[in-house]
A = this chain, B = another copy of it.
């Protein structure tokens, strides 16, 4: 148990503390690309207490640039809690007083798990772009060993949005006996060609940055401009036309009525994007961005079934709650419906909801009330249905 409630001295409010942990895979990891990854570390966090019969474990998978820090704070002084703290914690929608929540950083990432920044044991130097290309199935394969390590034979649920949702679907396919329920949110069974195209351009922007140097940049001189451009592009796809219009419209940054007639940021939306890009560079590694985006490009559950998703889902046992958002154009509702249709074809238990929201893809992080209630009730029901 890694979580404890303590009182801070400054604010009379309980601070929920979570602590990063590391698990080193006992054996090298065989990857889909054919290569073997040695000395694999998985950074993870847990919240809540695993009950005696180990039936209350909920695995949360993070999205593209997320990390293991899903909820709580690392220290009482931490200004920012985990990325889904509004959803998960004591008394929250995913109640850590009831559930034992696990979240781990994906391999290929840059937030503690083995990735391109890690030292290659064969050379004693960072992998950088010699790191093997990983797939979502590889991420899940590594994660599965963590769950084994924690002594959990069957998870109550696996949930996550976006690339987290891909991992959720992969879990249901790769280890059908290992969970009662899954909750794929704002995701798809295969990454769309439009999204592959956006990823390509994002990586091209990084390559165009002279600091990238084929991945051999030094920490003092990262390809900040290219990585920021990549992030800004992705960020636009996380919003909807409606949410951008509502949030910024054509407002000017300096609140004046007059254009600056130059190429610095003039519109509020430009300054916002620039800020998002800059912040991202502070927390994310450019090479890792290559690997993580590539894993989504390659994600296609139907790759070996000639496009037949029902066939790909053949062995799936989990009960599903599939959620999409009406203004999400990166993972539109049609893609969630495809998942639902295939499950229904197979006679699986599936609930589906398209949540009306103007927030675009980001809605899975923002519509906490609506989504949270749905997840809370579904987990509650599935806990009753849980059996070994």
* In contact, B203 and A263 (Cβ under 8 angstroms): yes
**Distance (whole angstroms) from the CB of A279 to the closest CB of chain B:** 15
Q: Tell me, in angstroms, the Cα distance from A130 to B341 when the chains sit together.
A: 57
Q: Which among A49-57, A76-84, A245-253 touches the partner chain?
A: A245-253
Instruction: Please give, as numbers and ranges, the residues of chain B lying within 8 Å of A297 by CB-CB distance.
Output: 266-267
Q: Which of B223, B265, B303 is within 8 Å of A200, CB to CB?
A: B265
Q: Tell me, in angstroms, the Cα distance from A90 to B256 when the chains sit together.
A: 50
Q: Which of B207, B239, B262 is within 8 Å of A133, CB to CB?
A: B262
State whether A270 and B197 are in contact (beta carbons under 8 Å apart), knowing that A192-B245, A245-B192 are contacts in the complex. yes
CB interface residues, A 198-240, toward B, < 8 Å: 198, 200-201, 203-205, 207-210, 223, 225-226, 228-229, 232-233, 236, 239
CB interface residues, A 291-316, toward B, < 8 Å: 294, 297-298, 300, 303
Q: Tell me, in angstroms, the Cα distance from A210 to B277 when the chains sit together.
A: 19
Chain A interfacial residues counted at CB < 8 A = 59
Interface, chain A (partner B; CB < 8 A): 32-34, 129, 132-133, 190-194, 196-198, 200-201, 203-205, 207-210, 223, 225-226, 228-229, 232-233, 236, 239, 241, 244-245, 248-250, 257, 259, 261-263, 265-267, 269-270, 273-274, 277, 290, 294, 297-298, 300, 303, 329, 332
